Amino acid sequence: MKIGVLALQGAVAEHIRLIEKAGAEGVIVKRLEQLDELDGLIIPGGESTTIGKLMRRYGFLEGIRSFAGSGKPVFGTCAGLILLADEIDGQDEAHLRLMDMKVVRNAYGRQRESFETNLPIEGIDEPVRAVFIRAPLIERVGDGVRVLCEYQGSIVAARQGHLLAASFHPELTDDERMHRYFADMVTESLPMQASGK
C-alpha cells in the first residue's frame, strides 16, 4: 500500500516517517504522474494560499480532484484541511472543494500562539497528541460529514467518506495513530479502487 505526501510545502519527511511507522509505504510526491501509483494521499500543512497556487501551476488541482473522484482517500492536515474545503471564510474562491465544510484560516492565532494538547478522536482508543500552529478550524459541515473531534467547541477533525481533515499537525509528534487511521481508510478503499467504482 502506497501513501503519498504532496511535497509542495510543509513537513513532508515527518509525514513519511509516520506513514511508515503505521505500516504503509510513504512516497514523496513532486510530479503529477506520481498520483497514478498511489493508493492514498496526504496534503500537509504550510501556507494554504501558496500551496493552492503551486497546485494550480503544476496541475495538481485537477489531478487531486480526479484522484479523490476515483475513490482514493485524501487526508488534509492544517493547510491541507483548508485546501480540501468547499468554502473558506473571507475568501471568494476555495481550492479543491472536495469536502462539504466551511473553514476559518488562522483561527487559533499567530505562530507564537501555537500549542499542544491531547484530543479524543472518534475511532481512536486513547487521546491523540495534537500540535496546533496557526491552525484553522471547521466552522460548518454538511450532512455527509462526520465530526471526529471538537476542541473548545470548535470542530478540528472531520471525515467525509474517503476524505479526512485535521486542523492540527499529527506528524509533529511520535504518535502514528492518525496516520494508521488514514491507512485503514486506504485499506478499506482498495477493493473499490480495484473495481473502478
Domain at 102, CATH number: 3.40.50.880
Choose, from 15, 78, 95, 162, the residue flagged as catalytic. Answer: 78
pLDDT in tens, 126-167: 999 999 988 899 999 999 999 999 999 999 999 999 999 999
Closest CA to 31 of 54, 14, 1, 49: 54
Task: Quote the domain boundaries for residue 106.
Answer: 2-195
Whether the predicted model's global pTM rises above the 0.85 cut: yes
Closest CA to 183 of 197, 168, 164: 164
Choose, from 15, 171, 176, 179, the residue flagged as catalytic. Answer: 171
User: Is residue 97 scored above 60 in pLDDT?
Assistant: yes
- The total of structural domains in the chain comes to 1
171 is catalytic: yes
